[in-house]
A and B are shown apart, each in its own frame.
Chain A
């Protein structure tokens, strides 16, 4: 989905609020929220792709205003409701107040293509499509050409795994792009490497 979470290359942001040796947690509820979502994954209530997608489905104004751990918590609570562990009404009774949750999502999809077995050095292009389901393909690489530099073992296919759709696991490829190709006239020189699922790629030329 073209959600608010897909931030790579968005302009208008100020300096990174950087601090050396920054604390990983600030308050006890943050530790609990992180622990509880990890436990729910371990307990098989949902998987990591469902978890990530429920964060992406937060209302944009909520997403932008929430801290990182509030986003985690919202995903966890939304999935507890969606999986039938509790109703929204009951959750609000338990919390004694309004409980903002993620919005419903679209349907997922299975693998887009047969195995292609790209090799390091192959020139590939990221397919340019805008599906409403969970997808781990940042907007900034869509339709762009890059070079395969590494193949990884097969992982669950996010577009399916986040939606309970059956699919085979897919290899992913580390694909190297020139920043000047990703943002013509609009980027500092660098090589940007993005991990990309096989279904999102088509071959331009072999190495």
Chain B
């Protein structure tokens, strides 16, 4: 007996994936080609370096920063980045000495994955989703980020088709760095808001 009381033994997960692939092929979808396309997207195009480049430019170009904070979608597209059809609005949240932003999706796993990369396991796990909205300071501390007591924490729950990205504070030791060097500093964790630079 398995979890649902069926007498058949549970099909291995790989066989379940292959079965659905066969169904979609029969329906006329070119699954093999799309799996290759998807791998290219996931591993070569949807990279945290995209968000890092947006942030680095905003750090050196005040006009671009204004655009990024006002209309993230247009700013991202102006640098050649794109969004899947259901990501309809891209909002960038600026950290300051007083405010720290952190993003989550309590209902599933929504993220601006074409800009900051696909979300890591911990972001989609039950623990982060359940706790970060209610125990943000403790959760961040457990994850290695201890914020000053007077820093205000803003948590953003991604419940609609708006996608968020955190813009971390530029470290003070980076005066004079160029855009590329700056962008190498920005991590996916910082753009989710569970780390600072």
Chain A interface residues (CB < 8 Å from chain B): 5-11, 13-25, 29, 31-36, 38-43, 45, 47-48, 52, 55, 59, 61-62, 64-65, 68, 70, 73, 76-77, 80, 85-86, 91-92, 94-100, 136-138, 140, 150, 152-153, 155, 172, 174, 176, 179, 182-183, 186-197
Interface size class of B (residues with CB under 8 A): 35 or more
User: Is B177 an interface residue, CB under 8 A from the partner?
Assistant: no
Q: Are B20 and A76 in contact (CB under 8 A)?
A: yes
Residues A36 and B21 in contact in the complex (CB < 8 Å), given A190-B154, A194-B157: yes
Complex alpha-carbon distance, A179 and B189, angstroms: 23
Q: Which residues of B contact A45 (CB under 8 A)?
A: 24, 27
Query: By the criterion CB–CB under 8 Å, are A40 and B24 in contact?
Result: yes
Q: Which of A24, A40, A47, A193 contacts B154 (CB 8 A)?
A: A193
B133 touches A39 (CB 8 A): no
A187 to B130, CA, bound (A): 12
Query: Which of A10, A86, A189 is within 8 Å of B130, CB to CB?
Result: A10
Most buried by A among B29, B107, B132, B143: B107
Sampled A-B contacts (26; CB under 8 Å): A5-B107, A9-B106, A11-B134, A16-B127, A16-B131, A23-B121, A31-B39, A31-B42, A32-B35, A33-B17, A36-B21, A39-B24, A39-B38, A41-B86, A62-B3, A62-B4, A80-B23, A95-B19, A96-B11, A152-B91, A152-B162, A155-B88, A172-B161, A188-B134, A188-B138, A193-B157
Q: List residues of chain B with CB under 8 Å of any chain A CB.
A: 2-4, 6, 8-24, 26-27, 29, 31, 34-35, 37-39, 42, 86, 88-89, 91, 106-109, 117-122, 124-139, 142-144, 152-162, 187-189, 194-195
* CB of B3, distance to nearest CB on chain A (Å): 6
Instruction: Name the CB-closest residue of A to B34.
Output: A39
